[in-house]
Amino acid sequence: MSPSARAQLNILDLVPVLDGGTAGEAIASTVDIARHAEKWGYQRYWMAEHHNMVGVASSSTAVLIGHVADQTESIRVGAGGIMLPNHAPYVVAEQFGTLATIHPGRIDLGLGRAPGTDPFTTRALRRNEAAAMNFAGEVEELIGYLGDPDPDAKVRAIPGEGTRVPIWILGSSDGGAQVAASLGLPYSFASHFAPAALMSALEVYRSRFTPSTEPGGLDAPRTMAGVNVMVADTTAEAERLFTSVLQRFHGIVTGRRAGLPEPEGDIASLMAKWSPAERQAVSEMTRVSLVGTPDEVRDGLAGFVEATGVDEVIVTCGAHDHEDRLRSYELLADAWS
């Protein structure tokens, strides 16, 4: 079976706020892309929890998931992910139990342990550092709330119990892989921005996987990995559009975060403006990126699936203009199918 025939294609939407744009515009774009993605055959549409970022509008992730699910009919909608130590597991169980009750069979819950923000906002979130150190225990507590109803339990998630919302563990290192393996849960690696440990984390997960009959548990490993994509009718146009993504990563590296910028020239001339250290850092963060025509990106994605053995890929497109982002996802869906 070819890689394209066996690897499921999903979307990770970072809900980017354009430079000079508004969060309302970003959310409206997200809804429109999700509606189109559903028609084009994408299987999952995930959004990630980030805080205090002027260029990202997905801070209230559960609310946004509900909004997107309301505006679509069949595509699975979920979190890629919820940063669990920012929240009490019981609250997350109630939130996603409610979502699953409203939209049965369509809600995914990806869990991470990073703060998703800066140290000042981490304190404002009242983040529980002890919970971050006991991430596996927090996940197990959450699984318990979503499992079969227990009338004798002192604390019950209602809605929540009995929904068995599918849980994924997210990670960018071996740590998350170990948690996913020990709990028998599916694992998604954040190679779209932190690719260095991709292969080692997948190996750790697969080699240590323990089957589980708990809610969301699996009898065999299941993996997903993130990929930056930019697809256009020509390679040159795709590379021009990708300069918006590179500028955003450069802002992360230099601590100057802002809204998603417009494309600027071409990749070579853009990166020539940066210091060698900045170029190296951005290049490393974006190493798992596919930029080009539909055939070029399809072949690159097939090669990525073959090399990693992942069951699913989750792609994210950071084109500045809404129509360019839509076009990129449409071209990829047509090429992959």
What pLDDT digit, counting tens, does each position of 234-248 carry?
999 999 999 999 999
**pLDDT above 70 (res 2):** no
**3-class DSSP assignment, residue 11:** strand
**pLDDT above 50 (res 4):** no
The phi-psi region of residue 326 (left if phi > 0; otherwise alpha if psi is between -120 and 50; otherwise beta) is alpha
pLDDT at 124: 81
Asked whether the whole model's pTM tops 0.75, one would answer: yes
> pLDDT tens digits for 119-152?
788 788 776 677 678 999 999 999 999 999 999 9
pLDDT at 3: 47
pLDDT at 192: 97
Q: What mean pLDDT comes out for the span 97-111?
A: 98
**pLDDT above 70 (res 190):** yes
- Buried b or exposed e, range 11-22, using 16+ CB within 10 angstroms: bbbbbbbbbebe
Q: What mean pLDDT comes out for the span 74-101?
A: 96
Range in 90-104, 120-134, 148-162, 257-271 with the lowest mean pLDDT: 120-134
> pLDDT tens digits for 151-160?
999 999 999 9
Task: Express as a percent the part of the chain with pLDDT over 90.
Answer: 88
Distance set, CA 47 to CA 39, 58, 284 (Å): 19, 7, 23
